[in-house]
């Protein structure tokens, strides 16, 4: 029996490629001196400006703003990691998120089943809340945390366990849903069921060994949960 679901944000609630490609392009153009420098910055964060694609190991996929800033910092003399992270967070808050599926109907179905709903993202909390608010979703979440919310970042289990504590749920009766190994490792470390989705960069082959199930997207979640309950 599942009593709660905690979602990753980028690549799970929101389609990763469609949401973050424009963000990466805008950020790089904002801080680059010229085209060669822009290409260097793109390479540093695993983003190809020519093709508009992310490398599988891009830190943008699952790392924190500080990690992304650290990757860019060697190519930005005179700037601090903290300063670059602030630019990243400001740009992230303005990024236009593209839902992976119609989100409000899905979340309302889960809430109607009595499930508690949470968000655990390696984004910072302020942009995360901005993205949810922009799509009218904030009221459907019992718990919202970013890596700076005091529970640590994924793949650590802190955010997942904080959700369970705040809602009074047994972690073994909670599902962690995400598109990256960071998500699945965090959920597993918290003692939760781990559900992978394919709306990020990772493939079925990448995720399947670490997940209890791999779904095409979170839209398949209600049917899967119903089958499990039956």
**pTM of the predicted model, to two decimals?**
0.85
Contact 21, 27 (CB under 8 A): no
Q: Does the pLDDT of residue 194 top 90, yes or no?
A: yes
**Of 159, 114, 158, whose CA–CA distance to 7 is shortest?**
159
d(CA 146, CA 127): 9
Q: What is the DSSP letter of 194?
A: E
Burial letters 152-162, b for 16+ CB under 10 A, else e? bbbbbbbbbbb
Kindly tell me the burial class for residue 65, based on how many C-beta atoms sit within 10 Å of its own C-beta (0-12, 13-18, 19 or more). buried
pLDDT of residue 2: 95
pLDDT averaged over every residue in the chain: 94
List domains and CATH numbers for the chain: 4-15+97-229 (3.40.50.1000), 17-94 (no CATH)
Q: What is the structure's pLDDT at 230?
A: 67
pLDDT value at residue 144: 98
pLDDT band at 162 (very low <50, low <70, confident <90, very high): very high
- Token code pair at residue 108: 């309302």
Residues 6+ apart with CB under 8 A from 7: 13, 117, 118, 119, 120, 177, 178, 218
pLDDT digits (tens, 9 = 90+) for 6-43: 999 999 999 988 888 888 998 999 899 999 999 999 99
Q: DSSP letter at 52? A: T
Count of positions (residues) in the chain: 230
**Which tokens belong to 159?**
């955010």
The tokens of 115 are what? 């499930």
Of 202, 9, 207, which Cα lies nearest the Cα of 194?
A: 207
CA distance 186 to 156: 5
Question: What confidence category does residue 5 fall into, taking pLDDT thresholds of 50, 70 and 90?
Answer: very high
């Amino acid at each position: 029996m599942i009593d709660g679901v905690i979602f990753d944000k980028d690549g799970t609630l929101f389609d990763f490629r469609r949401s973050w490609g424009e963000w990466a392009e805008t950020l790089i153009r904002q801080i680059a001196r010229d085209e060669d420098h822009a290409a260097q910055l793109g390479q540093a964060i695993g983003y190809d400006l020519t093709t508009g694609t992310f490398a599988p190991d891009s830190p943008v996929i699952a790392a924190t703003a500080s990690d992304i800033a650290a990757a860019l910092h060697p190519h930005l003399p005179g700037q601090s990691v903290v300063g670059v992270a602030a630019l990243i967070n400001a740009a992230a808050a303005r990024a236009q998120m593209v839902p992976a599926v119609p989100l409000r109907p899905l979340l309302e179905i889960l809430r109607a089943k009595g499930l508690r709903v949470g968000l655990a993202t390696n984004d910072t909390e302020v942009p995360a809340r901005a993205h949810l608010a922009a799509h009218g979703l904030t009221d459907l979440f019992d718990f919202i945390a970013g890596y700076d919310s005091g529970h640590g970042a994924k793949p650590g289990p802190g955010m997942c366990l904080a959700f369970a504590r705040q809602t009074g749920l047994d972690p073994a009766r909670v599902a962690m849903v995400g598109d990256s190994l960071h998500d699945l490792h965090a959920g597993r470390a918290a003692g939760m069921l781990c559900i992978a989705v394919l709306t990020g960069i990772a493939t079925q082959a990448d995720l399947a060994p670490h997940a209890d199930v791999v779904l095409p997207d979170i839209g398949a979640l209600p049917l899967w949960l119903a089958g499990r309950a039956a």
